[in-house]
Amino acid sequence: MNDPLGPLCSIGELARRTGLTVKAIRFYSDRGIVPPTGRSPAGYRLYGADALARLDLVRTLRELGVGLPDIRKVVARELSLSEVAAAHADALAVQIRTLRLRHAVLTAVARRDSDPEEMDLMHRLARLSEDERRRLIDDFLDSVFTGSAGSAGSGAFVGIRRSLTPELPDNPEPEQIAAWVELAELSQDGEFRALVRRLVEHLAAEQEGARGGGPRPGLVPTVRELVGPVLAAGIEPGDGAAAPVVEALLAHDVHVLTRLEAVNDPRRERYTELLAVINGWPAPESVAPVLDWAVEALRVREPVGGVPGASDVPSRP
């Protein structure tokens, strides 16, 4: 018994030629995916050459994770192969993202020796949708900017807010996901929010003080410019040679020590590091060495102008 595509073969022969088991072929046959072309006089199923092509397609699609309902529609030409491939590519993308999230959470848990409560929080943060992530960050930034002198919508503070906003890409790398989880957790810390709010208020005061007097250098660039050379020269904060730098810092802002201690909080620098990873920016240069030097120098020397308290401020943790 023949068909136009070649001689018919038994289910056993088809199994030998495809490498599939008889049981698997019978399973696909019973579900109409690879129907027999005919029957032998003894009633055994016989298959034509098209069965080989169908079974090759079925095996490939199954290895790619395509379900039997979609496979049946493809072989019946109810769906095109490209439509099925596109749908399953999208599904795989979701699965890959889920696996990346799980990997990021488990890696963070392993590195930080997290307790069950912290692990649960990290897992929930990692699973947030794009809209949920945006709402979480907007809540953080609103708490920092709303009501401060910098919330009036000026271009400078719009730019500052934008510079503090993480933008996780559509297909993030594992390190970006891990950074997002840590940043989101940090943004929920009430003490950190209060710290960033103080920094914003200091910036607002600096902007206000500069009005009418032309541009004024920011505090951190000023510290870097003043402290960088003496730090490189090996001058200790308590040396007499540090006095001109202390005077210059106090001339910039009489409350410079309070401001520097806020800026020098390690959580602020960590936030900028995580932000750079998430947004794909170059890693920021650490300003901790110059800030540490400046804070110590201000603490150990009597401030110029008789401003009290510089030597009485507790040490930075």
Mean pLDDT over 15-32 rounds to 91
What kind and span of H or E run contains 9? strand 9-10
- As given in the structure block, the two tokens for residue 240 are 């007499």
- Counting other chains too, the contacts that 174-179 makes at CB distance below 8 Å and 24 or more residues apart are 174/100, 174/103, 174/104, 174/107, 175/277, 176/277, 176/278, 176/280, 177/100, 177/101, 177/103, 177/104, 177/126, 178/104, 178/107, 178/108, 179/274, 179/277, 179/278
149-153, 242-246, 255-259: which is most confident: 242-246
* 3-class SS of residue 308: coil
- Report whether pLDDT(164) > 80: yes
Q: What pLDDT score does 191 carry?
A: 95
- Can you tell me the mean pLDDT for 218-230? 93
What number of CA atoms fall less than 13 Å from residue 262's CA on the CB side? 18
- Give yes or no for residue 102 having a pLDDT over 80: no
If you search the block for the tokens 């005919």, which residue do you land on?
A: 38
Between 104 and 222, whose confidence is greater? 222
* Token pair listed for 30: 């019973």
Once rounded to an integer, what is the mean pLDDT over residues 107-135? 80
Q: Is the pLDDT of residue 277 over 90?
A: yes
Got the DSSP string for 163-198?
HT-----SS--HHHHHHHHHHHHHHT-HHHHHHHHH
Instruction: Tell me if 192 sits within 8 A of 140, measured CB to CB.
Output: no
User: Regarding predicted confidence, which is higher, 312 or 291?
Assistant: 291
Q: Long-range contact list for 301-307, CB < 8 A, 24+ apart?
A: 301/238, 301/242, 301/243, 301/246, 303/246, 303/250, 303/257, 304/246, 304/247, 304/250, 304/251, 305/250, 305/254, 307/250, 307/254
Percent of the chain with pLDDT over 90: 37
* CA atoms of 66 and 297, how far apart (whole Å): 67
pLDDT confidence bin for 187, thresholds 50/70/90: very high
Q: What is the pTM of this model?
A: 0.62
> Average pLDDT of the chain?
82
- The yes-or-no verdict on residue 305 having pLDDT over 50 is no
Residue, of 310 and 217, whose pLDDT is higher: 217
State the average pLDDT over residues 294-307.
Answer: 73
266-300 core/surface letters (b: 16 or more CB in 10 A; e: else): eebbebbbbbebbeeeeeeeebeebbbbbbbbbbe
d(CA 229, CA 238): 16
What's at 204, amino acid-wise?
A
pLDDT at 103: 79
pLDDT at 283: 95
Q: Give the pair of three-digit tokens for residue 215.
A: 């541009």
Q: Are 47 and 17 in contact (CB under 8 A)?
A: no
- pLDDT, average across residues 213-230: 83
Yes or no: say if 245 and 134 are a contact pair by the CB < 8 Å rule: no
pLDDT at 211 over 70: no
pLDDT of residue 216: 60
Q: Does 188 score more than 70 pLDDT?
A: yes
Q: For tokens 């900017």, what's the residue?
A: 145
Q: What is the pLDDT of residue 207?
A: 65
